[in-house]
Each structure stands twice: as structure tokens, then as C-alpha cells.
Amino acid sequence: MKAVINSSPLISLSLVGQIELLPKLYEEIIIPKSVYNEVIVKGKGKTGSDKLEIFNRFTILEAGNRVVKDTIMLELDEGEAEVIAIAKEKRIQNVIIDEFAGRQYASLLGLKVTGVLGILLTGKKLGFVEEIRSLMDLMIIHNRYISRKLYLTVLRKAEEIR
């Protein structure tokens, strides 16, 4: 199973030390070139980017059809647009996007969407993650937004509260 990932979940997983979950859950992780440039090149020296720079289990791809990517960019940012464009071009069903608009757009195109919290929940279900609460708390400390409602929903799904 392959997945195309956007910058926000990539950064969040790196921030909480869970980047190694990705190759445990997917046989191939594809990072669009625009996401790579945003996170690794422009983000060099920022918290979390150092862990990604040495992680070499990713495939870096650029969307082949600029028209499709540019059309999607009318609605979404470049990273999300390229995630969706590559997924559609390569017939990859799984995309990892956190932003609401990107998730909605990808879903409307028939893609299977998850985000960083979905990755952590799957990791916990499979025994790779011990506790999600502390990871979400760490994300919040690093200015990653998680609404109170979503925070509680994830804890319930993780069976960390009733």
C-alpha cells in the first residue's frame, strides 16, 4: 500500500518522534517535490526538519501534469494540490492531509484520506504507539492546532478515555 503525504502531517510526525510509523504502515511513502522543498529545503533548521532530512525511506515525485496541479491550486495550496495530483496520476488511493479543505477536495475525488491523528491511531491499534495523549499534547506545544472536540474524539478512539 502506497501513500502520498503533505507537509503538515510530515512535520507533526517528525515533531513527536513518530516519523518511523510511516514505513510501518505503508510500503511506499511519496512526498511531492513541492512538499519536500517546503519542509526540507525551506524548512531547514526548523524544529522537526532535521529528523526528516536524514530519513531516506521516501520517494520524491513531481506531478507530471502541471495543468491538473495548477487547476487544483485554484482551491488549495501547492503542497495539497501536488499530493492530490500525484495520487490521481499514479492511481494511489491513500493521501495523508491534515487541512480541512484538502481533505474535502481529496475525498470528493474518491481518495482515501487520513491525517496525522489517523496515522497515530492506526499505529496504536497495531501496537507501534503506546499512548496518543502525550503525542497530541506535544503537537499542541509545538503550535499544531487540535480542537478540543477532536482531541477528545481521538482519545476515545484510542481508548485512553471513556
Per-residue pLDDT tens over the stretch 121-139: 999 999 999 999 999 999 9
Q: What is the largest CA-CA distance in the chain?
A: 48
Write out the three cell numbers for 2: 502506497
Tell me, what's the pLDDT at 68?
77
Predicted local confidence at residue 136, as pLDDT: 96
Give CA angle at 17 (12, 18), nearest 5°.
75
Pick 2-117's CATH classification: 3.40.50.10490, 3.40.50.720, 3.40.50.1010, 3.10.20.520: 3.40.50.1010
Q: What is the pLDDT of residue 120?
A: 97
Global pTM value: 0.90
DSSP 6: -
What is each CA distance from 149 to 12, 152, 154, 155, 159, in whole angstroms?
19, 5, 9, 10, 15
Q: What is the secondary structure of 27-79 as a DSSP string?
A: SEEEEEHHHHIIIIITTTTSTTHHHHHT---EEEE--S-HHHHHHHTTTS-HH
> Which residue stretches of the chain have pLDDT < 70?
45-56
Domain residue ranges in the chain: 2-117
